[in-house]
C-alpha cells in the first residue's frame, strides 16, 4: 500500500505540480480512501517527502543500472558514461519533480531539512559510486570527487539553462571542453 501511495504522490506532482499534491488527489490516484492514505502519511509534509523519495528512488534505479554497465574503463569512455548518467538524471522529469519540491520546501525550515536529508540519502551514494569507479580507473580520491562534482554541476546547470534558452552548439562544445580538461588534468597527475 505504501509503495502504491508513493507512486501516486509522485505521479500527482509530475502531472500537476506541487500544487496538485493534495490528500484527496493522491488518494484518488492510488484508488484508496483518504483515511487509508492518512494512515500512512498523516500530513502534507509526509506526503511531500514520499513524493521526492519516489522521484529520487526511481532516478537512483536508473543511475545504478548505468553504473553497472561493463565498459573498458578508459578515462574518456568512463567520463562519457558518467556524463550520460548525469544527463539522464538532470534532464528527466524525476529531477524536475524533485527540484519543484525542493524549491517549495525552502519556505519551511523543517521540511527543507527533511528534503535535504532525503536528497543526500538517495543521491550522494550515486556520486560516491562514480567517484569509486573513477578511483578504480586511476584517479586520486580528491580528483575523483572534484571530477564527479564538476560533472554534476555542468549537467545540472545545462538542464536548468533549458528553461530559459533553446539548446545550441555551445552546450555541446562546453561539454567537450570539460571532457578534454578533465582528461588533461588526469594525465598531469
Count of positions (residues) in the chain: 189
Three cell numbers written together for 147: 571530477
* Residue 114 in domain: yes
pTM for the full model? 0.88
Q: How does residue 98 score in pLDDT terms, banded at 50, 70 and 90?
A: very high
* Residue 8 in domain: no
- Can you give the pLDDT at residue 23? 93
**Percent of the chain surpassing pLDDT 70:** 99
pLDDT in tens, 118-148: 999 999 999 999 999 999 999 999 999 999 9
* Residue 144 in domain: yes
Residue 5's nearest CA partner among 61, 46, 58 is: 46
* Residue 17 in domain: no
* Residue 20 in domain: no
Q: How many domains does one find in the chain?
A: 1
* Residue 169 in domain: yes
Expressed as residue numbers, the domain containing 161 is: 52-188
Beta carbons of 51 and 12 less than 8 angstroms apart? yes
Amino acid at each position: 500500500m505504501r509503495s502504491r501511495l508513493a507512486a501516486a504522490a509522485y505521479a500527482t506532482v509530475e502531472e500537476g505540480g506541487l500544487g496538485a499534491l493534495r490528500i484527496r488527489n493522491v488518494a484518488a490516484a492510488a484508488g484508496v480512501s483518504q483515511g487509508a492514505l492518512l494512515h500512512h502519511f498523516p500530513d502534507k509534509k509526509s506526503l511531500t517527502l514520499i513524493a521526492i523519495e519516489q522521484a529520487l528512488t526511481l532516478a537512483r534505479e536508473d543511475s545504478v543500472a548505468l553504473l553497472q554497465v561493463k565498459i573498458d574503463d578508459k578515462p574518456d569512455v568512463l567520463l562519457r558514461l558518467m556524463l550520460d548518467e548525469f544527463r539522464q538524471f538532470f534532464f528527466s522529469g524525476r529531477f524536475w519533480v524533485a527540484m519543484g519540491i525542493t524549491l517549495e520546501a525552502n519556505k519551511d525550515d523543517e521540511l527543507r531539512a527533511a528534503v535535504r536529508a532525503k536528497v543526500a540519502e538517495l543521491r550522494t551514494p550515486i556520486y560516491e559510486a562514480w567517484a569509486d569507479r573513477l578511483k578504480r580507473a586511476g584517479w586520486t580520491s580528491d580528483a575523483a570527487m572534484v571530477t564527479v562534482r564538476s560533472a554534476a554541476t555542468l549537467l545540472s546547470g545545462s538542464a536548468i539553462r533549458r528553461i530559459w534558452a533553446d539548446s545550441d552548439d555551445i552546450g555541446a562544445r562546453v561539454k567537450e571542453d570539460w571532457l578534454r580538461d578533465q582528461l588533461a588534468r588526469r594525465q598531469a597527475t
